[in-house]
Amino acid sequence: MGMELKGQQSHRMVILAAIFILMTLLILYGSNNAMDDVYAPFHVATNHALMYTDLKKWAGREGYVPFNGNKEMTLRCNNCALVTSSSHVLGSRAGEEIDSSQCVIRMNDAPTLGYERDVGNQTSLRVVAHSSVFRVIRKPSEFLHQKDSNPVLIFWGPPNKFGKDSKGTLYRLIQRVSQTYSNLSCFSVTNSKMRRFDNLFHTETGRDRQKSHSWLSTGWFTMVIAIEICDNIKVYGMVPPNHCLKKPGSKKMPYHYYKPRGPDECLTYLQNESGRRGNHHRFITEKQVFSRWAKQYNITFTHPNW
């Protein structure tokens, strides 16, 4: 009787131990897997100094294809003003200074009309996300009334939006606009260049864009293109990477200067940075990379200065 009980007990112990080991393995395996996929925010790999990309050499006309004819993307500038869409530009009264730059670069549908005093009224280049095409096309006055020079529009998007073979609605819409206004040069980013933007994110942050569920922002494309075409760049309205981390309770600032009742900038940055399910913009990580590029290329930041 005693022997039988002992035997049963040790049998039970073996089963319990087996279950325990199995659970531990499952947890370890599960978390390992999760670690690969989960985006750990607020951290930029620092061991990439040896394999940095020289964006000046990286540049190439073949990365941009015209919507019409056989124009080439030949825009080159000594000094550029890169005007962000952040509400930090409001009250800067930087309009005249911005317009006095050789080239003025803007993003998406950020307007100048009504904000000239702070953001100026010239545009040499506008970098536009596929999701902003309709809003940009709807307001031609924003990009057609330029004193001199022919403005350039660069559209970026996933291959199925602007790819050579996807003569979809967006593609044909932009094509029609660029036919109508011959002084306007419209380009799309080629598929191979899109992949290079992804690879650049990977080498600069140590993270695979897709596996880390990240979306590149229009700011990422615009900064890279600006470095390609400008000898030096003054950026208006971009906060430093740690801005939203160190002042959690700071004053609310709209994400876009033209949407005063829109979402708060820091909230948008922080929520995107730590977003896991679905795809998210890594605004803070991108700015960490920009601050490194600022030391490598001629980039300065104003409103705020850093």
Ligand X SMILES: *[C@@H]1O[C@H](CO)[C@@H](O)[C@H](O)[C@H]1NC(C)=O
198 binding ligand X? (CB under 6 A): no
Stretch that binds ligand X, among 43-51, 161-169, 171-179, 270-278 (CB under 6 A): 270-278
Nearer to ligand X, 190 or 269 (CB): 269
219 binding ligand X? (CB under 6 A): no
78 binding ligand X? (CB under 6 A): yes
CB of 49 to ligand X, least distance (A): 17
Name the residue with tokens 């000094």.
Answer: 79
Among 141, 183, 246, 251, indicate the residue that binds ligand X (CB under 6 A). 183
Among 39, 86, 109, 120, indicate the residue that binds ligand X (CB under 6 A). 120
115 binding ligand X? (CB under 6 A): no
53 binding ligand X? (CB under 6 A): no
Number of residues that bind ligand X (CB under 6 A): 22
Stretch that binds ligand X, among 61-69, 117-125, 162-170, 242-250 (CB under 6 A): 117-125
What residues make contact with ligand X under the rule CB under 6 A? 78, 95-96, 99, 116-117, 120-121, 144, 146-147, 181, 183, 231-232, 268, 271-272, 275, 281, 297-298
